[in-house]
Every structure is written in C-alpha cells, then in structure tokens.
Amino acid sequence: MKEIKRIGVLTSGGDAPGMNAAVRAVARTALASGIECVGIRRGWQGLINSDFTLLNRESVGHILSRGGTILYTARSSEFMTKEGQKKAVATCKMLGIDGIVAIGGDGTFRGALALSRLGVPVVGVPATIDNDIGCTHYTIGFDTACNTAIECIDRLRDTMQSHERCSIVEVMGRNAGFLALYVGIAVGATAVLVPEKELDFQRDVVERIQESRLAGNTHFMIVVAEGVGSAVEIGKQVHEAVGIEPRVTVLGHIQRGGTPSARDRETATRMGYSAVKALAGGRSNCIIAIQGGEILEIPIEEALVMKKSLQMDRYEIMETMQFGGIASHRTSF
C-alpha cells in the first residue's frame, strides 16, 4: 500500500451548508494522521488551474458555523473533457497529491470517477441540499435547507393568513421532491407537488383547496418542487380554476445559504473524518454514505447507478395531516 503523505480536498457543484464542516474535518483528520492537506479552490476547475492553498489547523478554524464553502465552488465544463482531466492529473503530480476528497453531489462524483480511472485515488463526500444521491440516505445541507425554507414559509403563512390568500411557494430540489415533501410536512401545506408524482391539477390542487375551505380554512399553502415546473404557472392555473388570486414566491438560492444546522455539522464532520480514514487506509474510489445511521464506503461506479425513491408513505402522511378527520368535522355542523 502506497503511503499517503498529502491529500487534496475540494468542494464542487452547488454549495450546501455544512461543506465547511466537512472541509475542516478532512483537514484536521489528515493533520492528526500526519498527512498534509491541500485545499483546492473552485472545485475541479481549480485542480485544472492549480488553484490551491495549504490548509492547517488554523485555516479551517471558526468555519463550522459558516454557510457556503471557504474553498469556493464551480461547475467545470473543462473537467468533462479528457484534456481537462489530464491537466488535473498533472496538477496532482506536481503538488504530490496522493488522494482527493471531493465534496459535492452527482456531478462531482462523475468527475471523481473520471479522475479515479486516470489513477488518482478519490473519495466522495455527498453534499447537496437536494438529498438526491442514491447511495446515501442523507446528504450534507439538506437539513439546513429544509429549516431555511420552513422559516420562510412560516413567515409567508402569517401574511397569507391575515389576507386570507393562497401562497404558492417554489422550493429547490432539481429533479427530486425530497426538499418539497419534507418542508410540506413541516409547514402543514395544503398541497405538495413533487416530480415523482404525476400531477393531476384537479385532484392535487383544486380539490385540496376546496376541501381545506370546507374544513374552515381561509388561507392555503401550496409547496411546489422546482422539478414540477414553474410556481408562476401553477399560480395562474389556481387563479383560473379556483378564482382566488394567489401570491407566488420562489425561494431560490436563499435555501442554499445560512448557518448549518446541528445535523449538517455533525454529519459533515463524521463524513469528512471517514473520507480521510478511507484514503489513509488504502481504500479509495468510493463515496462515504450514510445508511440507517451507519457510515459506509460505496464504490463510486456502484453509487452512481443507485437510485433513491421519494418515500411515498410520507406523502400519505402529509395528506392525512391535512385531510384526515375532515368528514367528521363536516358532520359536526
């Protein structure tokens, strides 16, 4: 087994709260194991451009509570090319990097696979607010993004309640509905629209609002995952079908910022630690995953084809919270 003397760490793709905790964990675990740690700035593009900084105990101090990533991040199209990947390998050789910890989502791990095939050992750490990585039950940033969206929606509810309006809120999630469903349950949404469930506008929106009205509600909250389509369009349809003038809010990048939650700091620290332990132990080309609370190392190739479905039992729970007991409510009048 080749001795690991120096590793690189980078963050790539969309940032996620808790990435800094992961960078800190990687650097401090490396230093504690007698391994030097180089921070690669601006993701895979930084590896191509030799954009780096040496990390020590102090340089990763006081970053646990900071959102974003101190290493910056980027989505690199050059790294998708063989030419770009070769330049990245050359940087690793030049800097004497024996392995890389890549913190990010799906795109980051596709980059990791390409680099590992060119002989650079890589370990991936899943971080994305979308929680859409198949091999792991949890990705760094999801909890904080949920909490941020919930806080925003609670505020929206105050004004919607005062004016007796309908709010249509679009949340992120790319092609997945994890964020929307978790948030929808937590805010007691009238309806939650997710890409995993084919939209029947009459059943999923119009009837929900009508039922909610019958139950005595005078304001309504519709949470729409961005993967379903534009909340503005949904708003127009609500106006036409129900006759109420909705207010549309696209939460957008607000969801990606802010102080990481306890869960994200703790998970990121465990994952960063485990990534360095894997590299130091001669294990690489894997993703650090969490399944049932346990940390696992899943080979990247396997991880990239693993699928994770939205838990439809949670969808049922969300509906039950809104509409369970409506019949008895009606008969009591």
Please give the residues from 201 up to 240 whose contact with ligand F6P meets the rule CB under 6 A.
Answer: 226
Q: How many CA atoms lie within 13 A of 284 on its CB side?
A: 22
105 binds ligand F6P (CB under 6 A): yes
Closest distance to ligand F6P from the beta carbon of 175 (Å): 8
Contact predicate 298/289, CB 8 Å: yes
What residue ranges in the chain does DSSP mark as E strands?
Answer: 6-11, 36-40, 52-55, 99-104, 122-126, 166-171, 191-193, 220-225, 247-250, 286-291, 294-299
* Residue written as token pair 């729409």: 224
In the residue annotation, 154 being an active-site residue is answered as no
Residue number, 36 or 130, with CB nearest to ligand F6P: 130
What residue ranges in 226-333 does DSSP mark as E strands?
Answer: 247-250, 286-291, 294-299
Residue number, 39 or 177, with CB nearest to ligand F6P: 177
Binding-site member from 172, 185, 222, 225 for ligand F6P (CB under 6 A): 172
Closest distance to ligand F6P from the beta carbon of 130 (Å): 5
256 binds ligand F6P (CB under 6 A): yes
Residue number, 186 or 241, with CB nearest to ligand F6P: 186
- Going from the C-alpha of 312 to that of each of 118, 227, 248, 309, 318, the distances in angstroms are 40, 17, 26, 8, 10
DSSP annotation of 197 reads: S
Residue number, 127 or 279, with CB nearest to ligand F6P: 127
- Please give the backbone phi and psi of residue 34, each rounded to the nearest 5 degrees, phi first: 75, 25
Binding-site member from 10, 11, 12, 14 for ligand F6P (CB under 6 A): 14
- Measured CA to CA, the distance from residue 275 to residue 290 in angstroms comes to 12
Looking at this protein, which amino acid is placed at residue 102?
A: A
- Going from the C-alpha of 290 to that of each of 28, 89, 180, 196, the distances in angstroms are 21, 29, 21, 23
Closest distance to ligand F6P from the beta carbon of 172 (Å): 3
Closest distance to ligand F6P from the beta carbon of 156 (Å): 19
Bridge partners of 170, per DSSP, are 224, 250
Residue number, 67 or 173, with CB nearest to ligand F6P: 173
How many chain residues are in contact with ligand F6P, going by CB under 6 A?
10
Residue number, 61 or 252, with CB nearest to ligand F6P: 252
Angle made by CA atoms 49, 53, 59, in degrees to the nearest 5:
155
111 binds ligand F6P (CB under 6 A): no
Please give the residues from 116 up to 135 whose contact with ligand F6P meets the rule CB under 6 A.
Answer: 128-130
Q: Which of 15, 98, 106, 130 does the annotation list as catalytic?
A: 130
Stretch that binds ligand F6P, among 172-180, 206-214, 289-297, 319-327 (CB under 6 A): 172-180
- Contacts with ligand F6P by CB under 6 A lie at 14, 105, 128-130, 172-174, 226, 256
Indicate which residues carry an active-site annotation.
Answer: 130
